[in-house]
Structure 1
Amino acid sequence: MGEDSVLVARRGDATWITLNRPERRNAYDPEMADAVVAALDGSTRSRAVVITGAPGAFCAGGALGNLSAPDVTSMRGLYRGSLRLFDAVRNHPRPVIAAVNGAAAGGGNELVVACDLAIAAESATFGQTGPRVGSAPVTGATNVLGVQIGEKRAKEMALLCRRYTAAQALELGLVNAVVPDEELEAAVDAVVAELAALSPRYLEIAKVSSNIWWNAARDSFTNGLGMLVQAIGSPDMAEGAQAFLEKRRPRFPDPDA
């Protein structure tokens, strides 16, 4: 991983964290997830934190390159890296804003779920990919997302793997606002300015208090990750990943009797 896979810049009252692996649509591996966690840990003096992606995508979730022939240790590291990243967003003392500038897919969509606020460019898209690629979205989309957009809609997103436009994400309640692409940074800056006028101490109290549903779902996260680890190397994982890499429709085996 290059040293610039995560870019960190202080802009006024906010720290901007940019996922910078455009060649893989800003998908993260464990090292990149840890770099984002370190950037979050180093940004507590800001009034807000913004997470965005390098041009071309917001975040395609966990890097899928090795799933067709997975190594258990590396896959366990990727799963745990995702949870560390999402927990770091939730446990950060400042509001964390997702500036969704492109596709938020799989773990990238769950990153939006984890953020406190989300503003999307009109061209952004959203959706889960797990059951299509040999995985399941157990760190947000199968649990906390139901609180945000309603259980039936969350199950639709997690089970059917549909793609949603920014306008649809706004209607669902997954994002707070949608703006023209060229106005995304200005819109985020305006929200940062609103936050900067408020008490950071009491914003932190409000954020910690709002984590009640996230905290309640932590057992679901860890149980789900445990099941994913047990499924590493399964025929469904291998076929889903290979189909994804070959850009074809997967041919999953029939369910067990």
Structure 2
Amino acid sequence: MTVERRGDVAWVRLNRPDRMNAYDAAMGRALTDAVRGAADAGVIVLTGTGRAFCAGGYLANLADPDPEELRGMFFASLELFDVIRTSPRPVIAAVNGAAAGGGNELVVACDLAIAARSAKLGQTGPRVGSAPVLGGTNLLAISVGEKRAKEISMMCRRYTAEQALQLGWLNAVVDDDDLEAEVTRWADELLALSPRYLEIAKISSNVWWNACRDSYVSGLGMLVQAIGSDDMREGAAAFMEKRAPRFRDPR
């Protein structure tokens, strides 16, 4: 992970392109520290290195899970999203590529989201032996509607940036080469405003995030109880082996 200051804008860049910027507990904590440490900037931008924004949690952890390590990753995700939401500064997701699973929930957690035209977004949970309880099954419905959010979180489809924009999931879509320039324009517009009253507007707008908070915690509790389940192991193994999962018959 790298943090670059461009004037009053802090660019926080996920930097594990070898695994599409998927994060484990340690990387989640480092990202949390980076966002928290950038509170003296005027605007914070989150983006990725390479062809992905973020592929979510590192799925190798699910194929042969260590319960304490995995619990740490789950709750590190919640802490990261809480830090984004409670930061006094606007946080913009610059979605440079694929945003999947927890990576899409990272987009949902940010205040604003601008995507490159080639970006794809979506959830992966039930396909890989998990569930998107930190935004995908709950807060996303505020943007796209309940039925569409259920489709996104349960069907595990992929959506183009243009489709996501039409659904209210994103604020803007631009050509790939224009992404950083467009994000910079939005950041500059924010920097011209009162930081004190931007903070008030941001924290006040967290009403739906706060209303969903019990859902996040109860969802994490259920995920923790399911650590090591047959479906978790099979889903993660199938993903890593690039094959279709063979889940057992739940009946």
Taking structure 1 as the reference length, the TM-score comes to 0.96
1:150-189 equivalences in 2 (<5 Å): 150-189=145-184
1:199 CA drift (Å): 0.3
Alignment partner for residue 105 of structure 1, among 91, 100, 104?
Answer: 100
1:66 CA drift (Å): 2.4
**Structure 1 CA distance for aligned equivalents of residues 61 and 189 of structure 2:** 43
Match of 1:104, SS state, is strand
1:26 CA drift (Å): 0.2
Root mean square deviation of aligned Cα: 0.7
Contact 2:101 2:124 in 1 (8 A): yes
**Structure 1 CA distance for aligned equivalents of residues 38 and 239 of structure 2:** 36
Contact 1:44 1:94 in 2 (8 A): yes
Alignment partner for residue 56 of structure 1, among 51, 54, 59?
Answer: 51
1:56 CA drift (Å): 1.3
Q: Corresponding residue for 2:234?
A: 239
Q: Corresponding residue for 2:224?
A: 229
1:106 CA drift (Å): 0.1
Match of 2:55, SS state, is coil
1:205 paired to 2:200: yes
AA aligned to 2:133 is V
Contact 2:25 2:70 in 1 (8 A): no
Contact 1:49 1:94 in 2 (8 A): yes
Q: Corresponding residue for 1:126?
A: 121
Q: Give every structure 1 segment of 4 or more consecutive aligned residues whose post-TM-superposition deviation is greater than 4 Å.
A: none
**Structure 1 CA distance for aligned equivalents of residues 111 and 215 of structure 2:** 20
1:49 CA drift (Å): 0.3
Q: Corresponding residue for 1:26?
A: 21
Alignment partner for residue 85 of structure 1, among 72, 80, 84?
Answer: 80
Q: Corresponding residue for 1:3?
A: none
Deviations 1:154-204 (A, max 9, x none): 111000000000100101111100000000000000000100110000000
Deviations 1:195-243 (A, max 9, x none): 0110000000000000011011111000000000100111111110111
**Structure 1 CA distance for aligned equivalents of residues 121 and 176 of structure 2:** 15
Contact 2:137 2:150 in 1 (8 A): yes
1:101 CA drift (Å): 0.2
Match of 2:193, SS state, is coil
Deviations 1:85-125 (A, max 9, x none): 11111111110000000000000000000000000001100
Contact 2:9 2:43 in 1 (8 A): yes
| Aligned residues with identical type, % of pairs | 65
1:13 CA drift (Å): 2.0
Q: Corresponding residue for 2:144?
A: 149
**Structure 2 CA distance for aligned equivalents of residues 66 and 28 of structure 1:** 10
Match of 1:178, SS state, is strand
AA aligned to 1:127 is G
Taking structure 2 as the reference length, the TM-score comes to 0.99
1:68 CA drift (Å): 1.5
